[in-house]
Amino acid sequence: MIVVMKEGALPEQLDQVVRLLQGKGLRVHISEGVEKTIVGVIGPKERVLELPLESLPGVEKVMKVSNPFKLASRAFHPLDTVVQVGNHVIGSGEPVIIAGPCSVESREQILEVAHFVKRVGGHMLRGGAFKPRSSPYSFQGLGETGLKYLAEAREQTGLPVVSEVMETEALPMMLEYVDVLQIGARNMQNYPLLKAVGRTNKPVLLKRGLSATMEEWLMSAEYILDAGNPNVILCERGIRTFETYTRNTLDLNAVPVIQHLSHLPIIVDPSHGVGNARYVTPMARAAIAAGAHGLIVEIHPNPAEALSDGQQSLRLEEFEQMVHEVRRVSGALGAVESSVYAGQPS
């Protein structure tokens, strides 16, 4: 349920509402909009309905929220959430470009890629140190050594680093080295891991599960928000369909749908979405045209020799070209105002 306060409602009127709800053992989440304040209520609907809320001064109306996700919903939080990472923001303004290899393979490799990303205007560096591979015999990542190389790359270039945390036990180590914790598609429903990253304050890049509906994905975001971390960035990375010419089907529907349902920023990973370098740039352009707040792209100095995901990795000069093309698309659009959805509870 949400309680919509009237425009210009007084702080003591808001306090009265909050006290009444909390007195009934309900949890309250306050969101200050441009014009109105919204009080999101978590707890049994019947208990809210028993209260004479609509007769209180300052209250405009009480509404049901039909979605099972609350903290992630637009209804609870009408304005866009903007996540700050270093000097960059994700969720407003220029789309953010995150690029790097699928896996950190060596110090030289990650430093070369990092300097290139920086030079062509990318904003953050990605690189996996712990890899969720389909086969136990495939390269599993360099582990902490890889994280150290990433941290060195950040020191040399100033680019914040994004890397996947695969298990709760590894979280303290990851927190020492990375700026954004990536939750991989295979772990989207690893609830203990979601709760653990939710207890930190680090930005979390939550990838959509391989076969997850948007509602399941938002429920996973809900776990992180509910544990206390508001810095969640969603990432569409393709879902499994009957199509076999591409590794996954990049579901760009998710961009406007998520922006309608949720205030959280959403970026797109065209690399895993298509699985073939040939198709990455067109889908990167399309993602930006659809209104994504950014991209995460796999690149490699020599994709043929990559230890993971070489077939979908752009060569460095292809990435440079992609950046130019994406800029032209975002320039043509101007700043896409996803907040047109604000104030339209779904």
Instruction: Closer to ligand PEP by CB, 128 or 291: give it.
Output: 128
Say how many residues touch Mn ion, by CB under 5 A: 2
Shortest gap between Cβ of 11 and ligand PEP (angstroms)?
44
Q: Which residue has the tokens 């890899």?
A: 131
Q: 204: which 2 tokens?
A: 């979390």
Question: What's the closest the beta carbon of residue 184 comes to Mn ion, in angstroms?
Answer: 9
Give me the least distance between CB of 128 and Mn ion, in Å please. Answer: 7
Alpha carbon distance 171, 192 (integer Å): 12
Residue nearest to ligand PEP (CB): 184
Q: Does 277 bind Mn ion (CB under 5 A)?
A: no
269, two tokens? 């990973």
Binding-site partner at residue 132 among ligand PEP, Mn ion, none, CB < 5 to 8 Å by type: ligand PEP
Q: Which does 237 bind (CB under 5 to 8 A by kind): ligand PEP, Mn ion, none?
A: ligand PEP
Q: CB–CB of 75/40 below 8 Å?
A: yes
Residue 216 is which amino acid?
E
Select 311 or 321, whichever has its Cβ closest to Mn ion. Answer: 311
Quote the least distance from Cβ 189 to ligand PEP, whole Å.
Answer: 12
Q: Which positions lie near ligand PEP, rule CB under 6 A?
A: 102, 128, 132, 184-186, 207, 237, 272
Closest CA to 88 of 179, 183, 182, 199: 179
74 is in the binding site of which of ligand PEP, Mn ion, none (Cβ under 5 to 8 A by kind)? none
> Using CB distances below 5 to 8 A depending on partner kind, what does residue 88 bind out of ligand PEP, Mn ion, none?
none
129 binds Mn ion (CB under 5 A): no
- Residues of this chain, 299-328, that bind Mn ion according to CB under 5 A: 309
Give the nearer residue to ligand PEP in terms of CB position, either 43 or 132.
132
Contact between residue 22 and residue 15 where contact means Cβ atoms under 8 Å apart: no
Nearer to Mn ion, 222 or 309 (CB): 309
Q: Taking CB under 5 A as the rule, does residue 166 contact Mn ion?
A: no
By the rule CB under 5 A, 226 interacts with Mn ion: no
Nearer to Mn ion, 154 or 272 (CB): 272
CB of 78 or CB of 141, closer to Mn ion: 141
At residue 168, what are phi and psi to the nearest 5 degrees? Answer: -60, -40
Q: Does 102 bind Mn ion (CB under 5 A)?
A: yes
Q: Give yes or no for a contact between 299 and 316, defined as CB atoms under 8 angstroms apart.
A: yes
Cβ neighbourhood burial of 149 (10 Å; 0-12, 13-18, 19+): buried
Q: Cβ closer to ligand PEP: 53 or 194? A: 194
Report, in Å, the least distance between residue 76 CB and ligand PEP.
27
Residue 118 binding result from ligand PEP, Mn ion, none, given CB thresholds of 5 to 8 Å by partner type: none
Q: What share of the chain is helix, strand, coil (3-state, %, to 5)?
A: 40, 20, 40
Residue 207 contact partner, candidates Mn ion, ligand PEP, none, CB within 5 to 8 A by sort of partner: ligand PEP
Least distance (Å) from Mn ion to the CB of residue 170?
18
How many CA atoms within 13 Å lie on the side-chain side of 8?
0
Closest CA to 72 of 293, 221, 267, 233: 221
Q: Check if the beta carbon of residue 235 is closer than 8 Å to that of residue 265.
A: no
Strand runs labelled E in the chain: 2-5, 27-32, 37-42, 59-63, 83-85, 88-90, 96-100, 124-126, 161-164, 180-183, 204-207, 232-236, 266-268, 294-298
- Contacts with Mn ion by CB under 5 A lie at 102, 309
